[in-house]
Structures are given as structure tokens and as C-alpha cells.
């Protein structure tokens, strides 16, 4: 989509400096940009690459200058750039119309404007609201519910009864509503505990490729509105995650843990069962949260077992000195032996 800088300024609510008639058709980094690409500069260290860039149009922070370019002044250039990208480069359609190879149960309710790609399977009593797009080879189990404007990339699986609200994005390979890992031991054998609960994904959630979200055991697994899960994240049964939380790749959350809103969790974090991560907490990459632990509101923790960041830094500093300390102890022992003590 091609726009002028004047149109962009009006849409974004930015102050325009330079040629309002300059055309913008895409977004890029400063190093890879072409003449009609939009780039952004949020700090002085980005000025030199931007000045050397072929791009003529720049979203730039207040107080910075960039001669020879058309500028959009923004308080938060990265956010403004993201909004511009959303307008200039809307996502390509996943599916349009109903493909003839799709297998759709007669009782499924599909609203006007829904796209269903090749070889999709839609079972009995599935409900799909307007504007949702279902990519090739997706499977929607019996009684699933999908709100408006959802986007399911190819090979997504919804088990029976899974519920998606509006504008949910599921990337390829995501599985929603699989059985939780719950067993009861009887004489050394593991007997399956019922996994008959629900799974509910609220508005504007995005779930990465090959992520898995189990249904509740007897209750419900919930993902709050605006939450974003990276690729290969696993959410176990009965977990509840609040609004606008972000979880990076390869993190696993064990059963019945509760994660508050606006929490940030790094990659490869392990959260054991029945933990509570309170609002706005930060969990550093590869941290381990033991069973039943509470991470308090706004706290930042790191390490395994996870501990407050300041404590982790002190302990890690001592840990890195262990070879030196061991050598000092060895020298002291040798002196004692030499004196015959």
C-alpha cells in the first residue's frame, strides 16, 4: 500500500517535517531500506545508519535531526513505526472463501466472510464468526468456538470445545486443548486422571508456532486478553495467565500455576506446579520456579532456584570466583601440612 508522508502524519498524529508528498510503500531497517521504505530512529546512535540509508522517510525521536530526510516526529518512534507498518503492510490473507477440499460438518456455523483453506477439517457444532481465516490443513474439533477476525495459520489444531475470542492469532503447529499431563499412581502403574475441562483464549492473544496449551483437568485453562506466547511455549492444565503478559520461547508452565497481568517471562523458564507469579513480575531467562513459590508484584527474579536479581548477581559473582578461592584454600592447606600442624 502506497501512502504519502502527509497521509502518514495525519493517521499517526505526528508532526511532519519535510516533503509531505514523498511516497512510502513499505517498512525496513536502515541498512536494507529502499527509497520508498520507512525507517525509524529512536536514539542518537541510530543517526549515522539512517543518514546513510536509501530511505527518504524517517520516524524520528524528538530532539534529533536528520538533514535531507522527510521526518515524522514521535514521542515513541518504535511504537509509531509499528503502527505505520500495520497500516502500510497489512498481513497477507491466509484463506479467502471456502476451498472445495475443506471437510465441513453440516452442523458447523460459519459466518459470512470466513476464509477456509485447503483440506481444513471442521467438525460438528463448530462456530466461526465473521472475518476469521483458517489456513490449510487446520483441524477444528467438535464444538470449538472462534470469534471475529481470528487468524489460524496452516496446521493448527483445536481440540473439541476449544474457545477463541476475537482477533486471536495462532501460528503453524499450535495445539489448543490437548489433554493435560495428569495421572494417578496405582501399584506402580500410572492411570490417567480426567482431562475434561475447558480452554479459553481471550481477545488479541497471539500464540507462536508449535506452542501447546492443555485444556483444564476439571476446571479451565485461561489465557488473558493481549497476552503473547512465543514459539514452543507449553501451558499445562488449569493454568491461568492474566492480560498483556509475554512469554518467550521454550518456557514451560506446569499445572495450576497462576500468572498475573503484564508479567514478562524470558526464554527456557521452567515454572513448576501451583506457583503464583504476581502482576508485573519479571522472570529472567532459564530461571527455575519451584513448586508453590510466589513471585511478588513487580519483582525481578533470576536463576535456579529463582531468587531476587540482586541476590542472584552477588551469588553468581562468588560462584565465578570459586576456582580462585579453591586455589587459595589449597595453598593454605599446603602451608599447614608443611608446618606439620
Of the pLDDT bands very low, low, confident and very high (cuts 50, 70, 90), residue 313 is: confident
Of the pLDDT bands very low, low, confident and very high (cuts 50, 70, 90), residue 337 is: confident
Of the candidates 265, 336, 256, the residue with the CA atom closest to the CA atom of residue 300? 265
220-223 β-sheet, strand order: 109-110, 127-128, 145-146, 163-164, 198-201, 220-223, 240-241, 258-259, 276-277, 294-295
pTM higher than 0.85 for the full model? Answer: yes
Q: How far apart are CA 246 and CA 243, in angstroms?
A: 9
Stretch 102-109: mean pLDDT: 98
Choosing from 23, 234, 237, 274, the catalytic residue is 237
Q: What is the mean pLDDT of the chain?
A: 96
Sign of CA dihedral 280, 167, 202, 229: negative
Of the pLDDT bands very low, low, confident and very high (cuts 50, 70, 90), residue 159 is: very high
Distances (CA, A) of 258 to 34, 151, 234, 294: 46, 27, 14, 10
For position 188, what pLDDT does the model report? 94
pLDDT in tens, 251-274: 999 999 999 999 999 999 999 999
Which residues, listed in sequence order, are joined to residue 61 by a DSSP beta bridge?
Answer: 74
Grid cell for residue 210: 508449535
Distances (CA, A) of 325 to 124, 300, 315, 316, 330: 68, 29, 14, 14, 9
105 CB neighbour count, 10 Å cutoff: 13
Of the pLDDT bands very low, low, confident and very high (cuts 50, 70, 90), residue 305 is: very high
* Percentage of the chain exceeding pLDDT 90: 90
142 neighbors 161 (Cβ within 8 angstroms) = yes
Evaluate if residue 120 carries a pLDDT over 70: yes
Task: Confirm whether 237 is a catalytic residue.
Answer: yes
Amino acid at each position: 500500500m502506497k501512502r504519502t508522508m502527509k497521509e502518514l502524519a495525519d493517521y499517526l498524529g505526528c508532526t511532519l517535517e519535510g516533503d509531505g508528498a514523498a511516497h512510502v510503500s513499505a517498512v525496513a531497517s536502515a541498512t536494507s531500506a529502499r527509497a520508498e521504505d520507512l525507517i525509524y530512529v529512536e536514539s542518537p546512535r541510530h543517526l549515522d545508519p539512517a543518514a546513510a540509508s536509501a530511505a527518504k522517510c524517517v520516524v524520528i525521536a524528538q530532539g534529533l535531526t536528520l538533514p535531507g530526510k522527510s521526518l515524522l516526529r514521535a514521542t515513541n518512534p518504535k511504537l509509531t513505526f509499528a503502527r505505520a507498518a500495520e497500516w502500510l503492510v497489512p498481513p497477507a490473507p491466509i484463506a479467502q472463501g471456502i476451498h472445495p477440499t475443506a471437510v465441513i460438518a453440516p452442523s458447523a456455523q460459519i459466518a459470512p466472510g470466513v476464509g477456509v483453506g485447503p483440506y481444513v477439517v471442521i467438525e460438528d457444532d463448530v462456530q466461526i464468526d465473521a472475518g476469521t481465516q483458517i489456513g490449510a490443513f487446520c483441524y477444528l474439533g467438535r464444538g470449538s468456538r472462534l470469534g471475529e477476525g481470528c487468524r489460524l495459520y496452516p496446521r493448527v489444531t483445536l481440540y473439541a470445545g476449544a474457545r477463541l475470542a476475537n482477533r486471536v492469532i495462532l501460528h503453524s503447529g499450535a495445539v489448543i486443548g490437548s489433554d493435560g499431563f495428569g495421572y494417578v499412581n496405582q501399584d506402580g502403574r500410572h492411570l490417567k486422571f480426567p482431562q475434561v475441562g475447558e480452554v479459553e483464549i481471550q481477545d488479541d492473544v497471539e500464540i507462536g508456532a508449535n506452542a501447546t496449551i492443555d485444556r483444564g483437568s476439571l476446571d479451565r485453562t485461561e489465557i488473558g486478553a493481549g497476552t503473547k506466547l512465543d514459539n514452543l511455549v507449553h501451558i499445562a492444565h488449569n493454568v491461568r495467565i492474566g492480560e498483556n503478559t509475554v512469554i518467550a520461547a521454550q518456557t514451560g508452565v506446569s499445572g495450576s500455576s497462576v500468572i498475573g497481568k503484564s508479567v514478562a517471562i524470558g526464554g527456557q523458564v521452567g515454572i513448576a506446579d501451583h506457583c503464583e507469579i504476581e502482576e508485573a513480575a519479571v522472570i529472567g531467562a532459564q530461571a527455575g520456579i519451584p513448586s508453590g513459590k510466589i513471585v511478588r508484584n513487580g519483582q525481578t527474579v533470576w536463576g535456579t532456584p529463582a531468587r531476587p536479581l540482586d541476590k542472584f548477581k552477588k551469588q553468581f559473582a562468588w560462584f565465578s570466583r570459586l576456582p580462585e578461592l579453591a586455589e587459595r584454600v589449597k595453598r593454605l592447606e599446603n602451608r599447614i601440612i608443611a608446618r606439620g600442624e
